[in-house]
Structure 1
Amino acid sequence: MLDRIPRHTLRAQVAERLRAAILSGDIPPGAPLVEVGLSERFDVSRGPLREALRQLIEEGLVITVPYTGTHVASLSVEDVREIYSLRTALETFAFEQMWDRRDARFRSELVRRNEALIATIDAADDRASIDNELAFHGLVYEASGHRLLQRSWHGLRGRLQLYWAAHHRAHGRRGPKRDSHDSYIAAALGDDLGAMRAEIVDHMRRGAETTERFLRTRPDLSGKSKRGDKK
């Protein structure tokens, strides 16, 4: 007789399947998440499903609105601008905090995480590339030793996953460009903090502008184009 799957393991499996469906666009932004339908789709009871939904709510991928229900978080042009401005500020501050404490371990780990990212890009594994890009950018927050900054970064991760998924679809590829972090790494390993600040601004801006253009032309759930959005 087979042992029953532990409840926490089942919840994690359901959460991962839901997360993958959301980030792939299979369940699009703004789509309602109805427990009965999801329970049938994933062939799971509603208990683990509710726990999985709560986890994705904490991650920022799913939103519950009173009297409206639970749905996939949307990503608007304004959201992209807020992510861009906040990430720019947070990442600049993180490098300022640990600039003089960059050691050989930090340098080798930054290169290693970029190599892991490139491997998933080459494998056309979009889901893994998003995870590895989070890990790549997360290193400076880990190294900063600033706990409140680390909590701020953690709270942004769910929206970043949505942002990167939209960004990749905007480019029509499975992950970022292979060389998208080359100049970032060169600045991070260099001796000029000013150059690092400038690179962060430029790095974030390039992605934000492409994703904005994509969101402006993407139909919403009613099928209407967003071309009429104003900057």
Structure 2
Amino acid sequence: MRYFIELSYRGTAYNGWQTQANGSSIQATLEAALTQRIGKSIYIMGSGRTDAGVHARQQFAHFELAEPLLLTESFLYSLNCMLPEDIVIHRIFPVLENHHARFSAISRYYQYLISRQKSAFQSGLTYHFRPMLDDALMNEACQVLLQYTNFQSFSKARANVTHFNCRLDFAYWERIDDDSLTFHIRANRFLWGMVRTIVGTMIEIGQARMTLEQFEQIIQSRDRNKAGRAAPANGLYLVEVGYPAQVVGAWG
């Protein structure tokens, strides 16, 4: 049987989602807790791989068991007690065998948080960036971005992909107050480092260090070396993973 996990995590202490030889990961931490609680070796597949320091308000993964799992409130409570405080499982539920956490997903929605003020309570959870940014101009850059589908200019050079095309559903900046900005972006898929590089490049626009014409030329060049520096990981959040209605319906 196949089961989906819905979870959240604060990525500050981890070297990303994927299990690796050096450093802790979200995947390995989850697998260890599930293996201990269920009493069988568990391997999980995530909807996507977040980088080191990136957070998730909503993430999905799946695993398989030969026999049914008794999903009670006490089971979930005990599992969460085994996990560190920065990882929380919200629910586990059975799905059809052809439902896949990664390949069944049709959208991923990210937010990037910027704050001009240092906070004792938000350290590692937002990008502390002091200069005032022109969010109106940055939103004009978003309109340029939405005209394109090839984002090779914003992908890490070592990305192991067959193409660089992504279908963007929306991209915009929201000013929360004088000191806080949030970038919203949703697409069917994202390239390695894409959101952080877009944010870093748009910060250049927001400081009047880059024109909209130059921004469009960067997109058209398909050259990562022409884009801005990637913004730090600590401001990035995966906030929603979308699935087709027939998959959602199967969850009950």
TM-score > 0.5, shorter chain as reference: no
RCO (CA 8 Å, sep 6+): is it higher in 1 or 2? 2
Higher strand share: 2
Question: Structure 2 length normalisation: TM-score?
Answer: 0.27
Question: Structure 1 length normalisation: TM-score?
Answer: 0.29
